Structure 1
Amino acid sequence: MAAAAAVFRAGNAFLRARRPTLFAAKRFQGSVSYAQTVANIPETQLSTLDNGVRVATEESDHPTCTVGVWIEVGSRYENEKNNGVSNFLEHVVLKGTKKHSQLEEEVESLGAHLSAYTSREQTAYYMKSLAKDLPKAMELLGDLIQSSSPSEAETERGRKLILQEMHEMESNLEEVVFDYLHATAFQGTPLGYTVVGPTENIKSLSHSNLAEFMNNHYKAPRMVVAAAGGIRHAEVVGLARKHFGGVPFKYKNDAIPVLAPCRFTGSQILVRDDALPLAHIAIAVEGVGASSPDVVPLSIASTLIGNWDRTYGGGVNQSSRLAQISVENKLGHSFQSFNTCYSDTGLWGIHLVCDGLNIEDMLHFAQGEWMRLCTSVTESEVTRAKNTLKTHLVAQLDGTTPTCADIGRQVLSYGRRISLAEWNAKIDAVDAQMLRAVCSRYIYDKCPAVAAVGPIEQLPDYNRIRSAMYWLRL
């Protein structure tokens, strides 16, 4: 998601990363069935502290654990003048506190790993360590969230680091084209902002801007302390009460931030650069929010379109029809279907990478597969996609860190963690008829958002792309 994006999207840094067994207790049972594995997943336990911080855990017998705090804040909570402040703040917070001025050395002395990320709707700080070091990890995270007081010099170092990262990101055309896609699809709204913000903002944001943003948004009811691995829920709750119980829950003048609706606009943004070797094209329709019941059918549809890279084996024997077509006609270098969900809206589409001369054909076949989803997809294809999606759901939770992240994101998005068994039941309830109906509702005859970067002279006119969003039928 963002939250369901994390569950379903086959493709924002942490969210696109690919993840021994779900449970160490089962690693010696090579014949354990999928149904048994799902049934044996420990229950996610959830408690709430007096100040509103939620504590959610999944216990296992791993020798390691991951604990983190997920906060309901990101670039969508920013405005045009301070866009980028969430990501800037995340970088500065990791510089340490007065109590832990040598943070990196402390973490390394434990053999642990501390990291963080910022997305459009969430910010997270998490730490993986030996299970016995859980108390130290919780103490470090609690101090970072509540006592971070970087000096002006540290703020400047953070500024230089972000500007350097922004320069490096320009070479990651996948990230670039997705930022452009958001910019055109949600133009004039906060979802159109990039997570890192524009260069001029990063250069002008002050130490006081960061402190003000943190005071306004790092509030207890918007936090989830999540933990997974060799931990016990009661211990985590006790440590959270000790280290996060002091997080404030009141807003100044009771001015609680409320997200404004972000409208979707069918439109395009094109950045032609013939010096680049390959064209990157992202095309999407408006998807659904994480809590929509249609998120599952749309995720199955995205899985059915699939993803492919020319380095894959299998050739024309790929399960994805679009992959078969790409191989047979030697069209693209890669493609990746995606279903990105935010709290109240989303993007459902595909990212294509191909030679400039193959753009028109790749778009033609991709949109043709979209129309087939709406009109003639078969039961066997849907069954195969459902099984693939179930496998992806299990694979994403392979380890304490992705499990912890899944807990944090889902509790922020849904108020609870939806179990794999419940996801599977939702998946099983979808048949070909339902899939065609849902796809027709969101894809058929809809105005898409298009972003393209590179040698895109052969990209069809927007009206032609729009006309391929329906089929003339007798």
Structure 2
Amino acid sequence: MTSRSSRATARPSSEGRAVARTQTLLPGKDGIGTVRRTTLPGGLRIVTETLPSVRSATFGIWAHVGSRDETPALNGATHYLEHLLFKGTHQRSALDISAAIDAVGGEMNAFTAKEYTCYYARVLDTDLPLAIDVVCDMLTGSLILDEDVDAERGVILEEIAMTEDDPGDVVHELFAQTMFGDTPLGRPVLGTVDTVNALSRGQIARFYKKHYDPTHLVVAAAGNVDHATVVRQVRRAFEKAGALTRTDAVPVAPRDGLRTLRAAGRVELLNRKTEQAHVVLGMPGLARTDERRWALGVLNTALGGGMSSRLFQEVREKRGLAYSVYSYTSGFADCGLFGVYAGCRPGQVHDVLKICRDELHKVASDGLTDDEIARAVGQLSGSTVLGLEDTGALMNRIGKSELCWGTQMSVDDMLDRIAAVTPDEVREVARDVLDQRPSLSVIGPLKDKQADRLHQAVS
């Protein structure tokens, strides 16, 4: 990603404090949509996007840590820690944390991914100081008590059980394992029953201390916010917790990955008594920094991104073989996935799989038509804008961009980049990605003969 402009100013020190550095990354129009970044001397980055016309604000803190940073013995520690930060600090109990946001009609939550974690609160603009104080307190002052670790263990085991009850979710975890094997990217974000049961309070506390240093954090706020005010309030909260003592600290660079090995032609089957068989067929995709990702996004939209897409038309509309069928992409720091999902009756798995494989082969060899590409460009452009219509989505965009790319791209620049994708670029990326030997993951009530045929299907 590239930023359209960058103007830096040094903020004068206050009461002898070290100087912060502020930059205007995107100027916006008449002050609307302006994105600014301030880097505090302790290495903490604060980015904001200002929208004076709304009455809400979303405040979040992004941590440069995900399940990819776990050893096998620590699998699930990132997500476990996410739960524990809501359990209480020196200032607030778990009830105090939730009650503070509930009392102003706000919402607060968090999510853990393979390469980052995010904690956020969405409130009325007038209640933003409260949200800042509560979320900053959680991130800097968590107690991680033994009794909370023990109590939350049961909650996480229930969450794992709930996920296991949804084969549509499990099949995607199975596909990651199929592609990446026993590596951090291949292991489940939630961990397993065995790893969660084995995690100790000491292990989680050390993980917290290592990965929640201010240099590993990005603060993001979007909505009716004033950048200088947000910076002042965040700085006060972190200094109060003693978290900005290293005045020479610098932020960690965006993750560059470890060149994870990816498998081809692997098949993983999970036999379960489900009403549907759940299928993911896919292959290596592109890293999130690959410039071809824009063309891949157009390809993905045309192939399986909507009701007019190839896969939807062929599998559902023409043949009625599935209710849900789509394609998707996942980009990581150094690699990616391209996958096709379908849920169908167990006896129709082979028909659905053949159609999907045939369509992937056709697009890889013959490409998409100009009309399909033009329609996909329009659909991707529209969904990009519509997906940024609330302050939560805007906070996610600027926070993730700062953490993963270190730069910001305006919505107009994104739309220009999508519009600039040519049919030749789409056809080239289709050959590069879709012409690879696929891997396959299936969950369902599979008979022995079916299993043998599925193994042969990707050979």
Asked whether the equivalents of residues 66 and 113 of structure 2 are also in contact (C-alpha less than 8 Å), the reply is yes
Matched with 1:34 is none
1:333 Cα deviation after fit: 2.1
SS at match of 1:81: helix
Shift of 1:321: 2.7
Whole-Å separation in 1 of the counterparts to 2:191 and 2:387: 29
Residue 372 of structure 1 and its aligned partner are, at CA, apart by: 2.7
Query: For 1:66 and 1:178, how far apart are their aligned partners in 2?
Result: 30
SS state at 2:48 partner: strand
Mapped contact 1:281–1:351 kept (Cα < 8 A): yes
Tell me which of 327, 335, 343 is aligned to 1:353: 343
Q: CA deviation at 1:398?
A: 1.8
Contact kept, 8 Å, 2:31 with 2:50, in 1: the verdict is: no
Q: Cα 1:342–1:249, aligned 2, differ >3 Å: closer, same or farther?
A: farther
Query: What's 2:274 paired with?
Result: 276
Q: Offset at 1:90?
A: 0.5
2:320 to 312, 330, 341: 330
Cα distance, 1:133–1:95 mapped onto 2, change above 3 Å: same
Contact persistence 1:59–1:232 (CA under 8 A): yes
**Cα distance change, pair 181–41 in 1 and its aligned pair in 2 (3 A):** farther
Which whole-Å CA distance do the structure 2 matches of 1:87 and 1:248 have between them? 25
Of the structure 1 ranges 458-467 and 205-214, higher mean CA displacement relative to structure 2 is found in 458-467
Letter in 1 for 2:421: V
Equivalent of 1:118 in 103, 112, 115: 112
1:133-154 alpha-carbon deviations (Å, 9 max, x no partner)? 1112111111111110032211
Identity, in percent, stands at 29
Does residue 1:151 correspond to 2:145, yes or no? yes
> How far does residue 263 in structure 1 lie from its aligned partner after superposition?
1.1
Do 2:267 and 2:455's aligned partners in 1 also have CA atoms closer than 8 Å?
no
Structure 1 pair 427–210 and aligned structure 2 pair: CA distance change class (3 A): same
Q: Match of 2:403?
A: 412
Q: Which residue among 309, 329, 336 is the counterpart of 1:339?
A: 329
CA–CA distance in structure 2, aligned partners of residues 290 and 41 of structure 1: 28
1:338-396 Cα offsets, whole Å, 9 max, x none, are 01111111111111111112212212222222223222311111010011011111121
The AA in structure 2 aligned to 1:55 is I
CA contact (8 A) 1:221 1:249 kept: no
| Residue 203 of structure 1, CA deviation | 1.1
| Separation of aligned partners in 1, 2:333 and 2:245 | 22
Please tell me whether the aligned partners of residues 370 and 443 of structure 1 are also in contact (alpha carbons under 8 angstroms): yes
What is residue 225 of structure 1 aligned with on the other side? 219
Taking only aligned residues, the RMSD between alpha carbons, in angstroms, comes to 2.3
Which one of 421, 429, 432 corresponds to residue 412 of structure 2? Answer: 421
Alignment of 1:204-243 (within 5 A): 204-243=198-237
State how far apart, in whole Å, the 2-side matches of 1:427 and 1:83 are.
Answer: 37
Correspondences of 1:167-246 after superposition (within 5 Å): 167-245=161-239, 246=242
Gaps (5+ residues) in structure 2? 2-27
Query: How many Å separate the matches in 1 of 2:394 and 2:123?
Result: 14
Cα 1:455–1:264 shift into 2, 3 Å? same
Q: Deviations over 1:398-436 (max 9, x none)?
A: 211121112111111111222211111221221221111
1:55-454 → structure 2 map (5 Å cutoff): 55-60=46-51, 61-101=53-93, 102-245=96-239, 246-247=242-243, 259-266=257-264, 267-273=266-272, 275-307=273-305, 318-325=307-314, 326-374=316-364, 375-444=366-435, 446-454=436-444
TM-score scaled by length of structure 1: 0.83
8 Å Cα contact 1:84/1:202 also seen in 2: yes
Question: Which 4+ residue blocks in structure 1 deviate beyond 4 angstroms?
Answer: 37-41, 256-259
Q: Decide whether the 8 Å contact of 2:367 with 2:430 is kept in 1.
A: no
Q: Secondary structure at the match of 2:337?
A: strand
Counterpart residue identity of residue 289, structure 1: A
What's the offset of the Cα at 1:302? 0.8
Q: Does 1 or 2 have the higher relative contact order (CA < 8 Å, sep 6+)?
A: 1
Aligned equivalents of 1:227 and 1:408: distance in 2?
8
- Give the C-alpha shift of residue 167 in structure 1: 0.9
SS at match of 1:103: helix
| 1:466 corresponds to | 458
- CA offset at residue 459 of structure 1? 5.8
Instruction: Number of aligned residue pairs: give it.
Output: 417
